[in-house]
Structure 1
């Protein structure tokens, strides 16, 4: 049992948007080794690959051999780009990644709940299902992801819960991005779902120029853990104690 687990606190290292490319050799092997010494669990918050290519997933899987702690992840929009999401998922799961997609798992007394999420906007400016079929389809996708998140939340029995997303559930952690693209960076529907439950924290990525920390309307802490975001550790990842 790791030191963090022994004293009742799980140290969770979180990073998103690592965008592994097929022409980069061992881009994260050293970092994953470091994280294994600093934390009890590694969480990857989507955009694991740059273009969703199986070869990119294979490179990530090879680097994860340097990681001696459990790995939990969700996919991001980039992981869908090439239409090979099933193969990418298979490769990562074969490497031992606990890939969450409207599902949950338990590690060291902490429940991890994960879903990719989707866009749609925030608060009173959230897009509604009105007008053309394309708009209704967009909104339906956001609602479906929120429903899958709710179903996963209901399956968790642990008192300590970390929610893992790719898209943002609140606008505060995407501040710094152009306001015009806010509707494509996340949705309040995710926060509305989360706030029906008691959670320890929420992490997401996707907004490379956003802000590190915010809270849902219900008061749950939210962290933008995209690799590009400045974090208290001074590292590309953050470590949460849950």
Structure 2
């Protein structure tokens, strides 16, 4: 079982997340916290595997809590669930070691996808004693199949590719490179490189939207995986 600690300053939201985690096979909620101090204390006491962390906390920045949790003697995985859309905060969370970043509000199926992805990554890494590149890429949600075109070109990062792919998968409709960049915290140029790669290998569908004037806008929609 993957032991989960839910952290949210809103008591009702925390309870909803606790109940939802309880419906998922292989997961159990071991506690809920509504402040940074309580989150740190319960993590020490309960030793969860995963913390669902809101960044709006009454006593300390959620990013600072993330940094403390990841820097503790028993590092715990953290999935950020927040309404904070500031790009610097997204970047700080990535640099702090968050396994994912889910923006409120969201349909619970989006949380289910991220929890299942996390569980699958744990299973894959637990199944090997010494990881090869293929295992690492699969753990990060990037399948490799020699010569099939799914390998990342030189200069592209598996972590960033996963971020871009999950941004597209979480969208309700197709997105432009600018929209993907804003939601993922990347520059538009970087987002476009990954989008073009996904389009080339067939995991993303590219369409053109024509306006009243000027060049058509490229739109991207995830269609595979």
- With structure 1 as the length reference, what TM-score do the two structures score? 0.30
- With structure 2 as the length reference, what TM-score do the two structures score? 0.31
Bigger fraction of residues in helix: 2
Higher RCO, Cα 8 Å, sep 6+:
1
